Amino acid sequence: MNDVTGLLTLQTITGTGLRFGAHFASGREVTFDSGADSVAANPVEALLGALAACEAMDVISILRKKRLHVTAYHVEMGGERAESHPRRYTAITLTHRVTGRGVPQAAVAEALALSEGRYCSVRHTLDPAVPVTHRVEVLEA
């Protein structure tokens, strides 16, 4: 299925809260929030997380296909935003940090290049003018 459909609902209908729940036709959900007392990521955070997770899902899938032994996987996410409205992202840096047993750095870099170039739907929906810098770190378990 290539279509994504869902319903977003304002949960804090009274007061000044900005919490919204998104329910997708797939049955999956995500909550967005904003402001001082918020309980979930705001949309701008969620966008950065979606990009990082999209890439990381591709990378770990490829590493698993290669039978590489990964014991931990983290992505350090950093995004700079413009000072003035609409405060878009002006630069994103993602450091993919893979811990494992004998995982070659080149295998991670290659998997990440495949994600960037061919697979990551989120990356290819973002403005190509937003620079995304990648770093790869491999640690021995």
Tell which positions 16-75 bind a copy of itself, by CB under 8 A.
16, 18, 20, 22, 24, 26, 28-34, 38-54, 56-57, 60-61, 64, 70-75
What's the min distance (Å) between Cβ of 106 and a copy of itself? 20
> Looking at beta carbons only, is 57 or 109 nearer to a copy of itself?
57
With binding defined as CB under 8 A, does residue 8 bind a copy of itself? yes
Q: How far is CA 34 from CA 6, 44, 76, in A?
A: 20, 10, 22
> Closest separation between CB of residue 37 and a copy of itself, Å?
11
Query: Whole-angstrom Cα distance, residue 14 to residue 48?
Result: 29
Site residues for a copy of itself, 64-123, by CB under 8 A, read: 64, 70-83, 85-89, 118-123
- 3 lies in the site for a copy of itself, by CB under 8 A: yes
Give 3-9 contacts, CB < 8 A, sequence gap 24+: none
Residue 103 and residue 81: Cα distance in Å, rounded? 34
Angle between helices 43-65 and 105-114 (to 10 degrees): 120
Report d(CA 96, CA 108) in Å as an integer.
Answer: 9
The single residue among 104, 105, 113, 124 that binds a copy of itself, judged by CB under 8 A, is 124
Comparison of 120 and 138: residue with beta carbon closer to a copy of itself = 120
